Structure 1
Amino acid sequence: MAAAISANLVFVAARHGRRQWRTTPFSCSLSSSRPNTRNLVLYSKPGCCLCDGLKEKLQAAFSLSGPDSLNDITLQVRDITTNPEWERAYQYEIPVLAKENSDGKEEILPRMSPRLSVEIIQRKLLAAFS
């Protein structure tokens, strides 16, 4: 599992010289200009066990194949400690999931417990994007 996760994580520069992780299913491009791509953002921070648990479940949900696969959704993991605005907004709420709407604005999704099964997380994400 760890090999699959690291293969899908891309390290990119962020504000203030710090770094953040972006996750893409199956090493897809991070470009949001791809047609039919839907964007999901996970706000988290290092050392957050709830964030780490949800990241693992999301990665597993993205790896599921079949008619309900999430292969057209791009997951971006944002470290709130790299951006004061994110830290103010989410410091007591992480992990926070948000979907990017067609107008570019983010919509916060209902909280998902990392204790949920991978299949339930997959179904909830599909429902959020339908």
Structure 2
Amino acid sequence: MGVAATMAGMVGRPPSIALLGRQRQRHRWVLSPLGCASFSSSSSSHSKARKLVLYSKPGCCLCDGLKEKLQAAFLLSGPDSLHDVDLQVRDITTNPHWEKSYQYEIPVLARLFSDGTEEKLPRLSPRLGVELIQKKLASALRE
């Protein structure tokens, strides 16, 4: 998907999300049907990649803040690197089940297993720094 298609699909999203995809070749936002967008490493294997789902909705400032911190955390290197993590962002307003389940809890971050099941992760404080978010996610994905 080219930058123009990505930018067109990012209407209503913060500009930093689209720009981040352009600045780094290693990571990109991938838009898919059903109100989902995903941020992934182009060098990772999708079958072996660790996967996270972020339930969100347009206009949610907490959701937008977490998305930006997650993007920054994915770009950090080191022993807790998240370079092989695929993040799928799901717009709860596009699915009645998601909206009913998460309308009062968003943003909700969940680990997605290969069999399609999900495990809701503990809420990340909006005050956490990017490095601490990286460490907490790496720890949760190791379990």
Question: TM-score by structure 2 length?
Answer: 0.76
- Aligned with 2:73 (options 61, 69, 74): 61
Q: Secondary structure of the residue that 1:97 maps to in structure 2?
A: strand
Residue 107 of structure 1 pairs with residue 123 of structure 2: no
Paired AA for residue 89 in structure 1: S
Ranked by relative contact order (alpha carbons within 8 Å, sequence separation 6 or more), the top structure is: 1
Q: Percent identical across equivalent pairs?
A: 62
2-structure distance, mates of 1:110, 1:12:
26
Gaps of 5+ in 1: none
Residue 22 of structure 1 pairs with residue 38 of structure 2: yes
Counterpart in the other structure of 2:64: 52
Q: Secondary structure of the residue that 1:124 maps to in structure 2?
A: helix
2-structure distance, mates of 1:80, 1:95:
10
Contact 2:38 2:86 in 1 (8 A): no
**Structure 1 residues 43 and 49, CA gap change in structure 2 (3 angstroms):** same
1:53-77 CA-to-partner distances (Å, cap 9, x unmatched) read 0000000000101222101211110
Q: Secondary structure of the residue that 2:64 maps to in structure 1?
A: helix
Measured on the aligned residues, the alpha-carbon RMSD in Å equals: 2.0
1-structure distance, mates of 2:79, 2:123:
25
Q: How many residues align?
A: 122
Contact 2:112 2:119 in 1 (8 A): yes
Q: Secondary structure of the residue that 2:83 maps to in structure 1?
A: coil
The structural deviation recorded for 1:5 is: 4.5
Contact 2:30 2:38 in 1 (8 A): yes
